[in-house]
Amino acid sequence: MTGPQLPAHTEPDDPIFAVCGPDGASLRCRVCGAVDEIVADEVPSMAGYGEDTCTRCTRCGSVETTDPIFGWRAKPATWPPAPEHDQP
Ligand SMILES: [Zn+2]
């Protein structure tokens, strides 16, 4: 499955994950371009009401979270990752 390539750059307020595919049934990470490599989790919020949600890209580690107090937040990962220089 291929789609238009977006620049890796994302604005801080831009969603990290966007639907793609003919039926919008897939989620694509706009940071690293992975499709359907995204895990979503919901847990009861520590706020005492509502739920916290966490959507994470398993490839690059970018995360979107929502919670009843702060609402939506995005934490894009650095992609491509910085090269490691300490390999044997
Ligand atoms: Zn990603």
Cα(76) to centroid of ligand 1, in Å? 8
Please tell me the distance between residue 63's alpha carbon and the centre of ligand 1 in angstroms.
9
CA of 68 to the centre of ligand 1 (A): 25
- Cα 79 to averaged position of ligand 1 atoms, centre (Å): 8
Compute the distance between CA of residue 19 and CA of residue 42 in angstroms, rounded to an integer: 19
Contact 76/56 with Cβ under 8 angstroms? no
**pLDDT tier for residue 10 given thresholds of 50, 70 and 90:** very low
- Residue identified by tokens 């702060």 is 70
Strands (E), 1-88: 17-20, 26-29, 38-44, 51-57, 63-67, 71-75
Residue 20 is given by DSSP the state: E
39 Cβ neighbours under 8 A, 6+ residues apart: 55, 56, 58
The pLDDT of residue 45 is 95
Between the CA of 48 and the centroid of ligand 1 the distance, in Å, is 30
Q: Which tens digit of pLDDT belongs to each residue from 11-58?
A: 557 899 999 999 999 999 999 999 999 999 999 999 999 999 999 999
55 in Cβ contact with 17 (< 8 Å): yes
